Structure 1
């Protein structure tokens, strides 16, 4: 299946090798449909996003020139509640990618039984090549362009790759100015001073560790002295690596888009985090331990945490990946073909729709706190996160065991049943 993508100059072309998150999502839906019983008649609902937006985002750059960026917002389903999903600023963002990410948000929210549908957004821009003022202009114009479709009861954006708390502050302020009143609940992942939640920044990585710990407990693999490789050393991968290290695990490999570090004796995550905090990248840290990107996938481990971008583990890498458990910190890092290879090799895959759901779970807490104007302590946040994630994990693990299916298939069964049951009960209007 070919997809239309654009190069950096904005020229369209056909790329048979392009990453296809939406196609991968559709294949996952096809695989789960035979398990849905009478609800299968509604399964096409999941193959057609409810609303897809492509918007022009023009700004005046610092040098006085006018630049245009392409922005997207996809609302995949709204049957169980308002849309929920992040906004990504990245030079390779495409509509295909945002559609796939929105679909996975539908599954993730339903698998955790959060009262949301699935949505996602993005702007094709490289934040590293723009000033803070230019990024503010892009954010505010993008928010205005999608402003009629978002809102605390419609669609609630959050940070993703290339965006952060500051981005959410600009989005919240822009929306509030346009509706004539401060509306903190329109986004989550905000600064604490604007109604953000304690524990939100670390929540996704914390959730990755919680699901890894629960998988290890059921598989008889002790976390202590286990070997871990983490791809993506940002907020998610950095938090997960730190929690693994605190639990006694040995981090033997780290990788970001600038470098791969491998150390059989174990990498000091605290020092690596301090370095990346200062330099914004791994390149230059432990230069004597630098390896090629492909060597990352060849080092023997107990856990691999892909926490970067989608499509990282394909069938070729899966065929030789020397690990016991893959815990997906990123969205869509494992292709359906790779899933099959890993299953045949007896490697457990903890799917993204469960493993990285800590972020949206604490976003839900933030949304609830904004509505009530009553805020919880970080201890309360983390305790509630543990309770929800372990409950979802137990249900998915039990179903996978009962039906002899993978954890991903079990998560999709539970999620699709919830979404399609809501769709069926609501009926079609008119």
Structure 2
């Protein structure tokens, strides 16, 4: 009998392939086409070694999955996490293919991961690791080939080390090779908060369709990293009431609402949101099934599955993380008539922000921050409306299916005219 633990650690690639095969049935794709769509074009595995503070050599494994380039250069983040696997990286690169296609960005899908706990490294060791990873993959990246960006446990500082090392080893001055950089290196400050901004904008659009509007709605955010933190800020600015948040150590719920500034201070000074002075302390599992209007899973994959999906009390789910729902959870929530705004739409503000930065670098820095923000919101609104119209035309299907149909169809058309499928 399948346990919760087995579901939580189940293969993300298997989950994503199941979702793709469902789309294949709707689009009438045959097995060879589905194999072509689910198989990455290249997966690079590398050994990364650094000299630790104790003088001993530490060895880590890293991967870059280049899933599909039919629509353009591979695009996707780099995560540093102790539990990352090759299959997870491949699955995430597949999600990026659909996400970039859905938002009509000129990219294919890519993703990278290094199996490491970055919190266990000193700053000097982290810099070594970052530079040595680029040394290992530099031949396979570039602004016209593959464009990495920040992801879990990576940030603008790591992108700075990536860019500097790439310049040194390749001899190319090409800042558009990486996005999510500091402003001083051609980045845009909007990129730092664009994922959270996009999640809230999509939540607002979905709430207008399914809940009668966002203002006054009770929101729970599972995960309080960069995405969760900015999402809370923008929810608050849009008149929603955030009543629950969590991080890796647990969560807190207050029906009267949580204060963003106070929560940020608590997180900064104590290391966890669980130390918020009011409200009820809860586990992440309890938070997910607590009563609210909008639930935003904004941490890791597979957190909503067949065991807890029947207990979810939210009226609308907006996927901040990549792959937070299993295929089984999708079916259960569809049956329960709880709309789910899928990850490839909801959290795409980050990659749209990256696209604006990439284009700006290539054009010679001509876009200002306000224009960048408008571009992100306009692109996401266009994609949402396209998905919602497809959702209505498909009949008895959910929003994920609608989004996937739109995204997969575009990739198929590109592959067909190239003679790849």
Q: What TM-score do you get using the length of structure 1 for normalisation?
A: 0.93
Check if 1:71 corresponds to 2:38. no
CA distance in 1, matches of 2:245, 2:115: 27
Matches within 5 A, 1:48-197: 48-197=39-188
Q: Which moved more, 1:83-92 or 1:235-244?
A: 235-244
CA distance in 2, matches of 1:216, 1:17: 29
Q: Counterpart of 1:415? A: 407
| Aligned partner of residue 275 in structure 2, secondary structure | coil
Q: Which runs of 5+ in 1 are unaligned?
A: 3-14
Check if 1:241 corresponds to 2:232. yes
Pair 359,39 (structure 1): closer, same or farther in 2 beyond 3 Å:
farther
| Aligned partner of residue 140 in structure 2, secondary structure | coil
Pair 62,29 (structure 1): closer, same or farther in 2 beyond 3 Å:
same
Check if 1:316 corresponds to 2:314. no
Offset at residue 415 of structure 1 (A): 0.8
Offset at residue 280 of structure 1 (A): 4.3
Matches within 5 A, 1:334-373: 334-373=325-364
Pair 17,292 (structure 1): closer, same or farther in 2 beyond 3 Å:
closer
Q: Which moved more, 1:211-220 or 1:65-74?
A: 211-220
For residues 267-319 of structure 1, what are the alpha-carbon distances to aligned partners after superposition, in whole Å with 9 as ceiling and x for unaligned? 11121123323444324332763223322123210000000000110011110
CA distance in 2, matches of 1:287, 1:263: 7
Offset at residue 377 of structure 1 (A): 2.0
Name which of 209, 214, 222 aligns with 1:223. 214
Check if 1:23 corresponds to 2:14. yes
| Aligned partner of residue 144 in structure 2, secondary structure | coil
For residues 165-214 of structure 1, what are the alpha-carbon distances to aligned partners after superposition, in whole Å with 9 as ceiling and x for unaligned? 00100011111111113220111000000010131001001110111100
Pair 400,287 (structure 1): closer, same or farther in 2 beyond 3 Å:
same
CA distance in 1, matches of 2:270, 2:130: 24
Matches within 5 A, 1:258-407: 258-286=249-277, 289-404=280-395, 405-407=397-399
CA distance in 1, matches of 2:339, 2:95: 19
CA distance in 1, matches of 2:87, 2:196: 26
Conserved 8 A contact 1:39-1:421: no
For residues 67-98 of structure 1, what are the alpha-carbon distances to aligned partners after superposition, in whole Å with 9 as ceiling and x for unaligned? 00010100000111000000000111111111
For residues 247-266 of structure 1, what are the alpha-carbon distances to aligned partners after superposition, in whole Å with 9 as ceiling and x for unaligned? 22111110110121111111
Q: Counterpart of 1:11? A: none
Q: Counterpart of 1:32? A: 23
CA distance in 2, matches of 1:369, 1:416: 28
For residues 102-148 of structure 1, what are the alpha-carbon distances to aligned partners after superposition, in whole Å with 9 as ceiling and x for unaligned? 00000000010100000000101111111110000000001110111
Check if 1:424 corresponds to 2:416. yes
Conserved 8 A contact 1:42-1:424: no
Conserved 8 A contact 1:28-1:336: yes
| Aligned partner of residue 270 in structure 1, secondary structure | helix
CA distance in 2, matches of 1:26, 1:39: 14
| Aligned partner of residue 316 in structure 1, secondary structure | coil
For residues 302-343 of structure 1, what are the alpha-carbon distances to aligned partners after superposition, in whole Å with 9 as ceiling and x for unaligned? 000000000110011110100110000000000010000001
Q: What TM-score do you get using the length of structure 2 for normalisation?
A: 0.95
